[in-house]
Structure formats: structure tokens, C-alpha cells
Amino acid sequence: MSTLHKIDSTFDIALASQLDAAINNKTKPLGSLGQLETLAKQLGLIQRTTQPAIREPAIIVFAADHGVTEENISAYPQSVTWQMVENFLGQGAAINVFARQNGCALQVVDAGVNHDFGPRDGLIDRKVASGTRNFAKQAAMSATECAQAMEHGRTLVAALDGNVIGFGEMGIGNTTAGAALMHKLSGIPLTDCVGAGTGLAPDGVRHKRQVIEQAVRYHAGVREPLDVLATFGGFEIAMMVGAMLGAAERRMAILIDGFIVTSALLVAARLQPALLDYCVFAHCSNESGHQRMLAHLGAKPLLQLDLRLGEGTGAALALPLLQAASNFLCQMATFESAQVSEKTE
């Protein structure tokens, strides 16, 4: 990526005061809408208004394969990646159902799947290569490939008209990449980063952890965020990093999904810390490590549904809560307009 544009914090003390006053003057006990009040204020600060609106929300699902699957770290074969892309295109996956239910546009991107789809309606071809290399033996991608993937993500977001964006992913082996990124960027012990992914048995989880441990030792000198991303990440993860940065530059609200999407955020937030002002954390995944990842970021998720599917499903399910936060701020009566008596003290 040629340049990293500075992302501005959303902090505005005057607007924050106006939003607090508007929220507190609604016909309800102070603070009684809980996290929705925090969310309404965040949306107002992102959009620089006391009347935030949710406009043309979209979710982009990035798919890519990972060379580290050679190390037998997944319960499923690599071919499931392209088969699930076909399922997305056929409108048969959970993310298709939830996005459609919530009036959310859905884009599917081939970021680097080890399969030749050919020209397909509904599939955006941004394939950097047919999967990354095996990071147990070499860097997953070159600096040039990583930069190209990030730029693709930024460009895809720049083409959207809406003001809310969520991200999803599909890639057999990507919880291994995500755990490596989490460990390297957060310093959290690897044991607390590695989980079952698509359903590994305990022996499989131990093997997965050992593969990552050996890879971390092999790449011991890699420390800078972009170098960590290129060494351990995936093309779908790198595209999400670029897309998140691009979304914040455009002052979009960014719906953060589960473990893999949050691992991309760890990279992006190290590059541009103010990015976190734009992030709405949809849910806490049931994938081991996600709760610790969220705690590291100081994030409070909206939902706890024991999801561990990926695809952006948590982001799609949280979307109605963004709509509710916007709607109560814009549509609820004030004590004065409804002629309701306020608390007496």
C-alpha cells in the first residue's frame, strides 16, 4: 500500500455534549436504553450529527485459501473454501439469509481462493494468488502481495454508497492465521489464542498450536504490523485490513464480526489507532480467544449468541440494533414534546 492516510478520531466535545443532551431528553429514565444509548452517540459522532441515519448497509465477504493447511490444522479440506463460495453465490449460506432478512447488500469477493471460478455473476474477482504460502515454512505472502490485497479492500469500500459496512470471511485455515496474528500483535499467550476453528478435536487443537508455535519461532524477527500481516495472514485478512482503513477514512460505521475479522482489526488498529472510534463490535464469538481479543481492544460486543460461523453472520444479526439506536434518537419524543413530567429531585 503506497500511503496510509491518517484517520481522524471522531471525538468532538461539543457534539458529544449535544448528543448526550438529546439522548437524555427522550421519554425514558436516564440510561435505560443501555448500550443502545452508547451506540446512538457513537453513530452521531461518526456521522457528525445529532440525527444519525443508517443508509444502504453492506457486508463484504472475502474468501481465500491458506497454505498452512498443508500442516493438517483444519477439520475440513481446503476445497470447502471454494465450495462455500459457490454456496454464497447460490444464496444458500447463513450470511445470505441474514443479509436478505435485514435489507443488507452482500458482496462476495475472491481474494485468493485456490480454484478457478471463471467469470461469475455475483463474484468479484480480486484474486491476488491461488492461496497464500505455508507460513510454517515461509512468509504467507510478499510485501507486494499484502499491499495489493489491502489496496483491493480499500477500493471495494470506496465504491459503496452507504454509511455502514460489515465484513465476513471464508477460508479454511484462517483461524490458524488469525490466532498467529492475535498472539504476535497482542502478546496474549498462544494457548489462549488457539481454538477449535471449524471443529477440531482436542488433539487437533494441540497440533494446531504446535504448528503456530514453531512458525512463530521460525519468524521470530517479524514485529511490525504489516510484516506480521504478510508473514502470518491471508489475502482475505489483508483485504479486510485495507477495507477497514478505507471505511474509516470515509467515516463509515464498521461492524466487526468474529474472530477472523477482529484479527484483521488488530492489524488495522495498530496502523491507525483512531480506527477503533468507527468500530461497532457485533458479537463475542464462541471461538476460543475472541473474548480475550475483544478485552485487549477494550471492546463491548452487542450480542452474545455463541456463534462461531464467520461469514459476517454476527455483523448481519447486529444490524437491526444500529437501526434501533438511530431510530430512537431521531424518532422518540422528548419529555417536552410528549408533555411527560421529568424525574423530580
The residues annotated as belonging to the active site are: 311
Site of grid cell 474477482: 125
Alpha helix positions (H), the chain: 13-24, 35-47, 79-89, 94-101, 143-158, 174-186, 202-218, 225-232, 235-249, 259-271, 290-297, 313-331, 335-338
Q: In Å, what is the CA distance from 65 to each residue of 68, 144, 268, 318?
A: 9, 18, 21, 27
Helix orientation angle between 174-186 and 259-271, rounded to the nearest 10 degrees: 40
Distance of alpha carbon 90 from alpha carbon 274, whole angstroms: 38
Residues 6+ apart with CB under 8 A from 246: 153, 154, 155, 157, 158
Distance of alpha carbon 301 from alpha carbon 304, whole angstroms: 7
Burial call 155-188: b when 16+ CB within 10 Å, e when fewer: ebbeebeebbbbbbbbbbbbbbbbbbbbbbbbeb
Name the nearest CA neighbour of 109 among 58, 69, 144. Answer: 58
Given the DSSP bridges, would you call strands 253-256 and 279-281 parallel, antiparallel or unpaired? parallel
Start-to-end CA distance of the chain, whole Å, equals 57
Distance of alpha carbon 29 from alpha carbon 36, whole angstroms: 14
Instruction: Name the residue type at position 279.
Output: C
Cβ pair 39, 322 in contact under 8 A: yes
